[in-house]
Amino acid sequence: MATILAIETSCDETAVAIVRDRQIFSNIVASQIEIHREYGGVVPEVASRHHLETINFCIDAAFKESQLHWSNIDAIAATCAPGLVGALLVGMTAAKTLAVVRHLPFLGIHHLEGHIYAAYLSEPKLQPPFLCLLVSGGHTSLIRVTDGGIYEQLGATRDDAAGEAFDKVARLLGLGYPGGPAIDRLAKQGNPRAFALPEGRVSKPEGGYHPYDSSFSGLKTAMLRLVQKLEKQNEELPIADLAASFQETVARSLVKKTLACALDYRLPTIVTGGGVAANSALRRYLQEAADRHNLKVYCPPLKLCTDNAAAIACAAAERFNRGETSPLTLGARSRMAITQVGELYHSSLTTHPSPVTHHHSPVYKPS
């Protein structure tokens, strides 16, 4: 069983975790929400600088929480793509340095693969094949997981990601940043059917609509025009109803596409991942729809939906158990399809013993 120390710095959270296969020993997340709130969104340069200031403290905290020692660690992992390049470089440089100094293997991990593996941490017995609905600030995808590390993207957004749409609509309604949690909280006080809004269908060149792809640009425009119309009527904006109607439209649209995809491809299990997977309406509607068709749904706990290093470590542990490692020359990439993850690794079976044969020293107990 591999024990991995992982670092995640793809955007605005500095995260470090220690995981043994699918068991979390520590999971430290230093959020930058308050820092970026005044800007209304993430400022890449500010995020990178804050990662640099915080990373060492997070590593120390991960060891203290886990009560493990360096002698217990089999490999070091870090998110390498996709994400903000400057932010990724901070985590990757720290991980590579630790790997060299501690004479440990290094693994670069795809950020979206980490979101998929978050489900394994809460459901250790989960096995492919399954369909993953991955919805975050930068991604909205339907991914078929055929086996460990084998992915096929069946659906995607053609414009904004779901999380980005939440942030922009929240800004329109004056709810601040981040938009997803703010809209979710306020929507509970509103009428989700107060306003009819377009779901955003993607047309096919030959006619008809793509059953699994999403589009949120039309929905955002409809929200803008609706708000402008209500403002011209000199009425107080029904913010709760607007938030509830928007959230309802997004959630039901995602559920409709996810369910159709799972049924068409005969995938009996649906897994969610990413920050928007924490949305209460999405989780509720997806579970209700799955129950009607006898499908299983696994939604990670909220703390594992947002960016975290435990999910990165879990993905790294499985790859290390299969004898895979990454070269220290691996670079950070702002964009990378999840179907390209195989490019990040080479086989290390000839140079590193299987983790199963490792004999760990006793757990370190701080005095």
What percent of the chain clears pLDDT 70, i.e. is strictly above it?
A: 95
The architecture in CATH of the region 129-302 reads: 2-Layer Sandwich (3.30)
What pLDDT score was predicted for residue 39?
83
The residue type found at 328 is L
Q: Which CATH number fits domain 3-116+306-357: 3.40.50.2300, 3.30.420.40, 1.10.3720.10, 2.130.10.10?
A: 3.30.420.40
Looking at per-residue pLDDT, the higher value among 350 and 133 belongs to 133
pLDDT at 366 over 50: no
What pLDDT score was predicted for residue 364?
29
Question: With bands split at pLDDT 50, 70 and 90, how would you rate the model's confidence at 365?
Answer: very low
Query: Could you give the 3-state DSSP secondary structure of residue 18?
Result: strand
pLDDT, mean over the chain: 91
Phi, psi of 269 (to 5 degrees): -130, 135
Query: Can you give the pTM of this predicted structure?
Result: 0.90
pLDDT, mean of residues 22-34: 93
pLDDT at 192 over 60: yes
Angle at 205 between CA 199 and CA 206, to 5 degrees: 110
pLDDT digits (tens, 9 = 90+) for 69-91: 999 999 999 999 999 999 999 99
Indicate if 129-302 has the same CATH topology as 3-116+306-357: yes
pLDDT at 92 over 80: yes
pLDDT at 154 over 60: yes
Contact status, residue 64 vs residue 366, Cβ threshold 8 Å:
yes
Domain extents in the chain = 3-116+306-357, 129-302
What pLDDT score was predicted for residue 32?
84
